[in-house]
Structure 1
């Protein structure tokens, strides 16, 4: 069973599941990166540009889903290096440190909270991410254009693109597309008709919405909603 809650780390979400039926459900692009624990393993899920279907994901899982753009500052790696990848944390941090942290989480009465504490400690030691990244996310979530978002921050198009690659794993246009998909899914899950969902989310029409959902989620919107938790 999948469960999630707000984290004590600003903007982050802490989640867990038992790895049965949830393991087969596709993970959709959302602009985020996750720190993952899976019974003796620590991994990092990079930013996705398409649906990711977990394979061999049995057992208990816990995750900290970082607010978009913040994980690279905490994990110490540019987001574009992990785009569409799941990597062992030992590929990013010293192996001895990862073994120590893994053992600590494995031995904890509540591995979910223990993983969250690891994320909090890492964030405290790394310092805060660039606050302008949150402004980028807020502008694009609100449906503003990439050009308007750049102008609002006083950045040129190339500057914003370079910062976006490092923070989000892809350019601002891709981030805007991913966040638009998330807006549409939220509306559709609330029962808003697809044509109205398309209009309110910023798509040209319902056909445009359908194409984007197929490309990013790998299935039609009706099928995606039928399998939603």
Structure 2
């Protein structure tokens, strides 16, 4: 943080740091491509854990390392992305919510606020 704050071009310093860390990290775990695809398709964390042969705790720990948060949060983010894509394609909010896997439009609205700190309408205007 200090190096980035002190840099003449903070964006370039951050990019250089990210590139260095990515180079030192090695290739991504291919298992987590499957985890992301399965959760993105709407499978539950329990189903994905069983498919991968990992226990729920191991899946959570390894997801934290791979994504920065647990598999349940990843599933919420991916579901929100599905709903946003539908809403951006002019699908009515209630229908987008149902098709993305939400109980109702209010559930989508709560998830939008919880995950982004914004409303669905404002988020779509960005």
TM interval, shorter chain, is 0.7 to 0.9
TM alignment of 1:28-107, pairs within 5 A: 40-41=9-10, 42-43=13-14, 89=17
CA RMSD of aligned residues (A): 2.4
What is the match of residue 218 of structure 1?
A: 117
* 1:183 paired residue among 65, 70, 82: 82
- TM-score when normalising by structure 2: 0.82
Comparing both structures, which one devotes a greater share of its residues to strand? 1
What is the match of residue 112 of structure 1?
A: none
What is the match of residue 42 of structure 2?
A: 143
Which is bigger in relative contact order (C-alpha 8 A, separation at least 6)?
A: 1
- CA offset at residue 39 of structure 1? 6.3
Is the alpha carbon distance of 1:223 and 1:130 closer, same or farther for their aligned partners in structure 2, counting shifts above 3 Å?
same
Is the alpha carbon distance of 1:127 and 1:223 closer, same or farther for their aligned partners in structure 2, counting shifts above 3 Å?
closer
Is the alpha carbon distance of 1:207 and 1:125 closer, same or farther for their aligned partners in structure 2, counting shifts above 3 Å?
closer
- TM-score when normalising by structure 1: 0.47
What is the match of residue 156 of structure 1?
A: 55
CA distance in 1, matches of 2:66, 2:103: 28
SS at match of 2:118: coil
What is the match of residue 3 of structure 2?
A: none
Comparing both structures, which one devotes a greater share of its residues to helix? 2
1:88-138 Cα offsets, whole Å, 9 max, x none, are 94xxxxxxxxxxxxxxxxxxxxxxxxxxxx84x875665311100111100
CA distance in 2, matches of 1:223, 1:122: 34
Structure 2: which 5+ residue stretches go unaligned? Answer: 1-6
What count of residue pairs does the alignment treat as equivalent? 118
CA distance in 2, matches of 1:133, 1:168: 9
1:31-76 Cα offsets, whole Å, 9 max, x none, are xxxxxxx962222xxxxxxxxxxxxxxxxxxx6xxxxxxxxxxxxx
Structure 1: which 5+ residue stretches go unaligned? Answer: 1-37, 44-62, 64-87, 90-117
